[in-house]
Amino acid sequence: MTTTTPVPTETECPPIDFGELKSECVAPRPSIMGQKRGLRSILWLSFKGIVRGLLTTLSYFRRPSTVVTQQYPENRETLEMFERYRGRLSLIHNEEGEHGCTACQICERLCPNASIIITKDKKNEATGKPALDQFIWRQDTCTFCNICVLVCPFDTLEMTGDFESSVYDRRLLVFNLNEYAGPTAGQLDKLEDDELAKAQMKPMKKYQGPVPMCGGEMDGIPKLDVEKPTDV
């Protein structure tokens, strides 16, 4: 059986001029049967080719140290992701638990798929400036393109190495990233009264927000009263 590939004649396809091609060609490697060889030569080369392949796998079989398999769930303790790895988004909080987000909404505006929703308090009573109310991040629509981290003028966002994000309910993928609603760390430091500063930090829950899927009730979907996904 020969392949019946229709080769177009000269009239169908005029010769194509590519201009001055500068490509230097490398000659293709011949295959075993491609050359005019005797039957004995062909049989020997075929046998050699198959045996060499088998010997390659056998040599790895005899050297278990070269095995590269990673036993993933077992090596969770020692597994380290690269520092630039783009996993779960997080809002950076300092040692005192204060964030640096001024709710400027640049990340919200530039997010390609509207995964970030920011609500803000237009005028904080103590500082007189706008303050962050909720930083909602929808992991279910996020494509991890890193643009929000890149455009943040105050460097308050980072992508963490946390990659184990599978849950049983889609609503658990809508996060509230800020631990408290209130002014930034810098604005809080300027307040002289520590009590007043403390009073501005209203604690927020991880699953809390105006997005309907975020813990709220919908038709046919019961209200979710989970604070944290349980480790199974």
Q: Which stretch binds another protein (CB under 8 A): 4-12, 188-196, 204-212, 219-227?
A: 4-12
31 touching another protein, by CB under 8 A = yes
Surface-to-core class of residue 78, CB atoms within 10 Å of its CB (0-12 exposed, 13-18 middle, 19+ buried): exposed
What Rg do the C-alpha atoms of the chain give, in angstroms?
Answer: 31
- Tell me: does residue 167 bind another protein (CB under 8 A): no
Cα gap 53→208, rounded to integer Å: 58
For residue 33, what are its two tokens?
Answer: 């049967």
Total of chain residues touching another protein, rule CB under 8 A: 49
| First CA to last CA distance, the chain | 59
Nearest one of 183, 141, 155, 168 to 90, comparing CA atoms: 155
Binding residue for another protein (CB under 8 A) from 58, 79, 114, 147?
Answer: 147
Q: Is the Cβ of residue 29 or residue 228 nearer to another protein in the bound state?
A: 29
Count of Cβ atoms closer than 10 Å to residue 85 Cβ? 13
Q: Does 79 bind another protein (CB under 8 A)?
A: no
Distance in Å, CB of 157 to another protein, minimum? 14
Q: 166 or 230: whose CB is closer to another protein? A: 166
In the set 68, 72, 73, 195, which binds another protein (CB under 8 A)?
68
What is the pattern of x (binds another protein, CB under 8 A) and - over residues 91-130?
-------------------x-x------------------
Buried b vs exposed e over 26-39: b needs ≥16 C-beta within 10 Å?
Answer: eeeeeeeeeeeeee
C-alpha 28: how far from its chain's center? 40
Residue 41 tokens read as 């030569």
Contact assessment for residue 78 and residue 71, using Cβ atoms and an 8 Å cutoff = no
Shortest separation between residue 50's beta carbon and another protein, angstroms? 6
Considering beta carbons, is residue 61 or 169 the nearer one to another protein?
61
Residues forming contacts to another protein in the complex (CB under 8 A) are 1, 3-8, 12-13, 16, 18-19, 21-26, 28-29, 31-34, 45-46, 48-50, 52-53, 55-57, 68, 82, 84-86, 110, 112, 143-147, 150-151, 159
